[in-house]
A and B are shown apart, each in its own frame.
Chain A
Amino acid sequence: MDRQAYSQLEQQITPKPPLAVNLVKAFVTGGIICAIGQGIMYFYMYFFDFTERTAGNPTVATMIFIAMLLTGFGKYKRIAQFGGAGSAVPVTGFGNAMISAAIEHRTEGYVLGVGGNMFKLAGSVIVFGVFSAFIVALIKTILVKFGVVGW
């Protein structure tokens, strides 16, 4: 059997991922995480003097704290297996990527292992976020300077 026929056969036999099921799982998992976030946001709005716009920041920090506990006790892996993108897209997934890298590389020492590898997975998100935000903000600032658009 030549290579092409093999790859064709492989594609036929490989079970296709049930797309609809995955989408529903991602929707429910992501939705639940965001609803929990909404609850934490109300907590910060009622018990501390945060407004609807500023409550997002402490909420994100709290969600990452919860992600730390779930990752540490090995529960986040199970949520990720069920939820797919539903667990990766919320900020808890970002936290999980950093925290699990930190835990995993601890055996290599705190400076080279934990410090050096913490951003291994999450770093690309920060790099591309900062770079795109820079470009967008630069373009908008220049456009405002020339009076094309307003703030």
Chain B
Amino acid sequence: MTASFLIAFVVGGLICVIGQLLFDVAKLSPGHTLCLLVVSGAVLDGFGLYEPLIDFAGAGATIPITSFGNSLTHGALQEAEKHGLVGVITGMFEVTSSGISAAILFGFIASLLFRSKGRP
């Protein structure tokens, strides 16, 4: 169990290092970096490479934003397996719904609870 925490730490950390390299060396804006990571997650799942990484690293692979791209592709492929080409559209958000619904829900709750600091 301790080992799995360590693996999650190292793998998650390394994905963040890739992000930092894109910031500092490739001089990409945070928006471009995150988009690039999401796209690479989606492509990796197309080759069937991201699920093994999740099996190996657990949260180290599911917490970085790359897993968002992975689960989009994964949902689309799952449905495509059952229903053919139509499934690519219908299955898109099947796996990843929790992240987006949580972000919308908590974003709205936060706007009810908290006031913006800094600017008047």
CB distance from A136 to the nearest CB of B (A): 4
Instruction: For A132, give its contact among B38, B63, B103 (CB under 8 Å).
Output: B38
Contacts of A57 in B (CB 8 A): 95, 98-99
Contacts of A29 in B (CB 8 A): 16
Q: Are A86 and B20 in contact (CB under 8 A)?
A: yes
Instruction: For A22, give its contact among B20, B62, B98 (CB under 8 Å).
Output: B20
CB distance from A67 to the nearest CB of B (A): 8
Contacts of B38 in A (CB 8 A): 125, 128-129, 132
Q: Are A30 and B99 in contact (CB under 8 A)?
A: no
Q: Are A103 and B115 in contact (CB under 8 A)?
A: yes
Q: Are A53 and B65 in contact (CB under 8 A)?
A: no
**CA distance in complex: A138, B15 (Å):** 27
Q: Are A133 and B102 in contact (CB under 8 A)?
A: no
Chain B residues 38 to 80 lying within 8 A of chain A, measured CB to CB, are 38-39, 41-43, 45-46, 54-55, 58-60, 62-69, 71-73, 76-77, 80
Q: Are B16 and A89 in contact (CB under 8 A)?
A: yes
Q: Which residue of B lies closest to A28 (CB)?
A: B13
**CA distance in complex: A151, B79 (Å):** 12
Q: Which residue of B lies closest to A107 (CB)?
A: B116
Contacts of A110 in B (CB 8 A): 111
Q: Are A26 and B12 in contact (CB under 8 A)?
A: no
Q: Are A58 and B98 in contact (CB under 8 A)?
A: yes
Instruction: For B63, give its contact among A60, A107, A133 (CB under 8 Å).
Output: A60
Q: Are A94 and B8 in contact (CB under 8 A)?
A: no
Instruction: For B17, give its contact among A30, A122, A134 (CB under 8 Å).
Output: A30
**CA distance in complex: A37, B63 (Å):** 7
Contacts of B98 in A (CB 8 A): 57-58, 60-61
Chain A residues 88 to 116 lying within 8 A of chain B, measured CB to CB, are 88-95, 98-99, 101-107, 110, 114
Q: Which 10 interchain pairs have the tightest Cβ spacing?
A: A34-B12, A30-B16, A31-B13, A85-B19, A37-B59, A133-B72, A137-B76, A26-B20, A136-B46, A72-B114
Cβ contacts A to B, 21 pairs, < 8 Å: A28-B13, A31-B8, A32-B9, A33-B12, A38-B4, A56-B62, A60-B63, A71-B110, A73-B114, A89-B34, A95-B107, A99-B107, A101-B107, A118-B104, A128-B38, A129-B35, A129-B68, A136-B42, A137-B92, A141-B77, A151-B77
A residues within 8 Å of B by Cβ? Answer: 17, 19, 22-23, 25-35, 37-42, 52-53, 56-61, 63-65, 67-68, 71-74, 83-86, 88-95, 98-99, 101-107, 110, 114, 118, 121-122, 124-126, 128-130, 132-134, 136-142, 145, 151
